[in-house]
């Protein structure tokens, strides 16, 4: 099954393609089931990885659906000139299957027409009604 983001600038992935989140698994056994609503992220890190892949795919629908309602914007515009290329998980605090909140520190490497960039962020997640949600992030300098 091929999946394409909601924006024409997104990447197309088949279930056999390597997942962009950096897990090393095929998309169909990694972020694909989360994006299709067939599974829920068991940890904050898994949600972070699936959200990164949603940025790669330009899937604003998934990003908004996994954003906590208290901080979620009414709509999301994804810049077609930004190509997300690689995710590095630097660490996490809590956010496990038995936690209700946690943080994930990561670096997301991207490319724009101006060149390569890195977003270093520490993101906060909470479990709401049994589902992990992104709350906010602090971008590190």
pLDDT digit string (tens) for the chain, length 141 residues: 333 444 445 688 999 999 999 999 999 999 999 999 999 999 999 999 999 999 999 999 999 999 999 999 999 999 999 999 999 999 999 999 999 999 999 999 999 999 999 999 999 999 999 999 999 999 987
With residue 102 as reference, give the H or E element that holds it.
Answer: strand 101-112
Mapped onto helix, strand or coil, the DSSP state of residue 119 is: strand
For the chain, list the domains and their CATH numbers: 3-140 (3.10.450.50)
Single pTM value for the model: 0.92
Residue 58: phi and psi, rounded to 5, are: 60, 45
Q: What whole-number distance in Å separates Cα of residue 104 and Cα of residue 124? A: 7
């Amino acid at each position: 099954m091929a999946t394409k983001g909601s924006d024409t600038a997104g990447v197309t992935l088949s279930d056999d393609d390597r997942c962009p989140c950096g897990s090393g698994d095929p998309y169909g056994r990694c972020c694909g089931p989360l994006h299709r609503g067939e599974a829920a992220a068991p940890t904050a890190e898994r949600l972070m990885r699936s959200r990164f892949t949603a940025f790669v795919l330009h899937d604003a629908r998934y990003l908004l659906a996994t954003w906590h309602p208290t901080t979620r914007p009414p709509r999301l515009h994804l810049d077609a000139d930004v190509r997300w290329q690689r995710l590095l998980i630097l660490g996490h605090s809590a956010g496990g299957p038995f936690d209700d909140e946690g943080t994930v520190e990561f670096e997301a490497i991207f490319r724009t027409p101006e060149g390569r960039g890195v977003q270093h962020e520490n993101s906060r997640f909470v479990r709401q009604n049994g589902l992990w949600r992104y709350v906010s992030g602090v971008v590190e300098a």
